[in-house]
Amino acid sequence: ITPSTKVPAVVGADLRVPLVTGERVTYANLDHAASAPCLQEVRDAVDELLPWYASVHRGAGFASQVSTRVYEQARDRVRKFVGARSSDAVVFTRNTTDALNLLARSVPKGTAVVLFDSEHHAALLPWRGPNVQRISTSSRKSDTASGAASLVVALDRALAAAPVGPRLVIVTGASNVTGELWPVKELAKVARSHGARIALDAAQLAPHRPIDARDLGVDYLAFSGHKIYAPFGAGVLVGRSDWLQQAQPYLVGGGATSKVTDHGDRLGVAWSAVPERHEAGSPNVVGVHALAAACETLSRHWEQTVAHEQELLQRLREGLRTIPGFRELSILNDADRVGVVSFTVSGFDAGFLAAALSAEYGIGVRDGAFCAHVIVGRLVKKVGGHEERAVRASIGLGTTAEHVDRLVAALRALVTEGPKWTYTQRDGRWVA
């Protein structure tokens, strides 16, 4: 059976990888949530730009003019992709982590920050200290009734207790651990009712669902090019410009300054306005162009993309549920999901399973705590596991039904018949 819909092609779909036996098989990349393969259309866009790329904002030559235009147009392409306000700043960064750190450095002093403990480290760690309230996603009374609704209630309660002054809520669009979709619109409504701004970590949402920032009511959002089928190196922070404009530049250097003057014992520096204020150094025009191209390709194919992923996700979950000892991790009990499934198999180490899936079956999954140690530790315990580790299979545009079926069959064979090879642990990793 093949998925009934046609989706944009990715590069490397026919990649062949060696097994431990020396045989080669097509690679089953079930690790889209870490980094997605490059879209063919993105590769074409990059190829087209490569002869022209030159210094952005700094050269008078024709190639510099082309690069500058491409770079500046990318802001509008991103704005369109996420339904941002025309007044929103679009600041290019290295990735989501960089974008969220920039936001954390830009909030007014004393801002009360509220977030959930299920966040990825990129959204969790920049916000620590006395002004930060972390809402536990495990101690909700209505756990069995309505998971998503209880998040909204918990946020309402946390904000009611927050000190007066500027307030900011951080939420994820989709969990990188469970793929569960957060009720962003409802959370944003609650945030607004308490005079708080809300920032969306869209790293896992942007590849899988259309985003309309105005409709959702979010003030900021961040995502990474490499998770939306563009190569590494470019990410973005989109959102209200006032705090960003009042903040000290994130990095200092060329581009972030409009004028530097020598006063003998000191330098006088006039900082640039947003977005250049936070983009010191030569910008990554190729990465940004690739990111913008990915935005446009995704925008044209949402219906097929969502159908493709949901069909394969259902196939994956149904298959995995037939594996003895399989336990799926979930934070909520009523949320729709993007194509991410994290699980344990009782009696098996997650690292061993991941290593054997690669060595014997040519399947790429991820194991560990997925840069979300707090929540993974808790969820693994909740399903009876002891190690704070799980396996994560994540699907996207490069996934086929054969990949899904291969994973399910391979896991069943590993669990019921055992591995065909011997494995040892070296520096904490299993090797064949």
Residues near ligand PMP, by CB under 6 A:
95-97, 120, 122-123, 172, 176, 201, 203-204, 224, 235, 371
Closest CA to 154 of 181, 118, 114, 104: 114
Question: Which is closer to ligand PMP, CB of 34 or CB of 306?
Answer: 34
Q: Between 67 and 224, whose beta carbon lies closer to ligand PMP?
A: 224
What whole-number distance in Å separates Cα of residue 431 and Cα of residue 425?
A: 6
Q: Which of 17, 34, 54, 371 is catalytic?
A: 371
Minimum CB separation from ligand PMP for residue 114, in Å?
17
Nearer to ligand PMP, 97 or 137 (CB): 97
Secondary structure, 3-state, the chain:
CCCCCCCCCECCCCCEEECCCCCEEECEECECCCCCCCEHHHHHHHHHHHHHCCCCCCCCCHHHHHHHHHHHHHHHHHHHHHCCCCCCEEEEECCHHHHHHHHHHHCCCCCEEEEECCCCHHHHCCCCCCCEEEECCCCCHHHHCCHHHHHHHHHHHHHHCCCCCCEEEEEECECCCCCEECCHHHHHHHHHHCCCEEEEECCCCCCCCCCCHHHHCCCEEEEEHHHCCCCCCCEEEEECHHHHHHCCCCCCCCCCEEEEEECCCCEEEEECCCCHHHCCCCCCHHHHHHHHHHHHHHHCCHHHHHHHHHHHHHHHHHHHCCCCCEEECCCCCCCCECCEEEEEECCECHHHHHHHHHHHHCEECEEECCCCHHHHHHHHHHCCCCCCCEEEEECCCCCCHHHHHHHHHHHHHHHHCCCCCCCEEECCEEEC
What is the nearest approach in angstroms of ligand PMP to the Cβ of residue 123?
6
Q: Is 295 a catalytic residue?
A: no
Q: Kindly tell me which of 20 and 222 has the beta carbon lying closer to ligand PMP.
A: 222
Give the C-alpha separation, 310 to 339, whole Å: 7
Give min distance, CB of 134 to ligand PMP, in A: 16
**Shortest approach of ligand PMP to residue 155 CB, angstroms?**
18
Omega of the bond prior to 275 within 30 degrees of 0, cis? yes
- Given a contact cutoff of 8 angstroms between Cβ atoms, the answer to whether 295 and 238 are in contact is no
- Residue 113 CB, shortest distance to ligand PMP, in Å, is 16
Closer residue to ligand PMP, CB minimum distance, 122 or 353:
122
| Residue 56 or 122 with smaller CB distance to ligand PMP | 122
Closest approach, Cβ 203 to ligand PMP, in A, equals 4
Residue among 3 and 364 whose Cβ is closer to ligand PMP: 364
Work out how close the CB of 97 gets to ligand PMP at its nearest, in angstroms, rounded to a whole number: 3
User: At a CB cut-off of 8 Å and minimum separation 6, what does 395 contact?
Assistant: 30, 32, 309, 312, 313, 316, 339, 340, 403, 404
Nearest distance in Å: CB 105, ligand PMP:
15
The nearer residue to ligand PMP, 119 or 360, going by C-beta atoms, is: 119
| Residues classed as catalytic | 371
